[in-house]
Structure 1
Amino acid sequence: MATYQELLAQKESLEKQILEAKAREKAEGVAKAKAIIEQYNLSASDIFNRKGPAGSRGGKVAAKYRNPNTGETWTGRGKAPKWIEGQNRAQFAI
C-alpha cells in the first residue's frame, strides 16, 4: 500500500500531466478551428451570429404603460411601479 507522501507525489504528477494534456488539446482545437475558418472564409459574425429566440433576448421592449402625471413608462415586465400597482392598467395603456 502506498504511503501518504507517495500518493501526494502521484497526485502532483497527475495534475501536471492533466495541465499539459489540456494545453496540448486546446492548441490542437484552436488549430483545427483556424483551418476550418480559413477553408470556408468564415467571419466572426458567421460563427457567433445568434438567430432566433436565443438571439432575441436582452433587447429593448416597447413601453406598454405611461404615467400621465410624470410621463414615466413601463413595459409591463418585472415588478410593477408604484404608480400603477393595484390599479386598472387599461387606463395607463399607450
Structure 2
Amino acid sequence: MPTYVEIMAQIEALQKQAEQIRRNEIDGVIAEIKQKIRDYDLTAADLGFVPAAQSQEVRPAQPSKRSTVKPKYKDPASGKTWTGRGVMPKWMKAAVEAGHVRDEFLIDAG
C-alpha cells in the first residue's frame, strides 16, 4: 500500500500532467475558434463581447442622458467650483481642515 507522501507526489505529478494537457487542448481550441471567426467573418459584437453600438457599424449618436449639475460651492481665491457631489476638491478640503464651514463657500442662488 502506498504511503501518504507517495500519493501526494502522484497527485502533484498528475496535476502537472493535467495542466499541460489542458494548455495543449486550449491551443487547439483557440486555433479552431480563430479559423471559424475568419471563415464566417465574425466581429466581437457578433460574439457578444462588445455592445452592438460599439461595433464597426456606423450608427447615429444618441444624446447623452446625463445632465450637467450646477456648481454649489466656489473658492473665492481661485474661482474654482464644486457641485458638492463626488470627492471633495483639495481647495475645499484644505478650507474645512483650516476651520472653515462648507456653507461659507455656497454660491448665491440669485
**Shorter-chain TM band:** 0.5 to 0.7
Quote how far apart the aligned CAs of 1:34 are: 0.4
Q: Secondary structure at the match of 2:37?
A: helix
Question: How many equivalent pairs are there?
Answer: 85
Which has the larger share of helix? 1
Q: Does residue 1:72 correspond to 2:80, yes or no?
A: yes
Amino acid at match of 1:67: K
Structure 1 residue runs without a partner (length 5+): 53-61
Q: Secondary structure at the match of 1:22?
A: helix
Q: TM-score, length-normalised on structure 2? A: 0.47
- Cα gap change, 1:40 to 1:6, in 2 (>3 Å): same
In 2, are the aligned partners of 1:63 and 1:75 still within 8 Å (CA)? yes
Query: Could you tell me which residue of structure 1 aligns to residue 28 of structure 2?
Result: 28
User: Which residue is equivalent to 2:7?
Assistant: 7
Deviates most, 26-35 or 73-82 = 73-82
Q: Which runs of 4+ in 1 moved over 4 A?
A: 43-48
Identity, in percent, stands at 35
Question: Normalization by structure 1: what TM-score?
Answer: 0.53
Letter in 2 for 1:72: K
Letter in 2 for 1:49: V
Match of 2:102 among 76, 82, 86: 86
**Partner residue in 1 for 2:58:** none
Q: Distance in 2 between matches of 1:10 and 1:27?
A: 26
Residue of structure 2 equivalent to 1:40? 40
* Larger radius of gyration between Structure 1 and Structure 2: 2
In the alignment, structure 2 segments of 5+ residues that lack a partner are 54-67
| Superposition CA RMSD, Å | 4.0
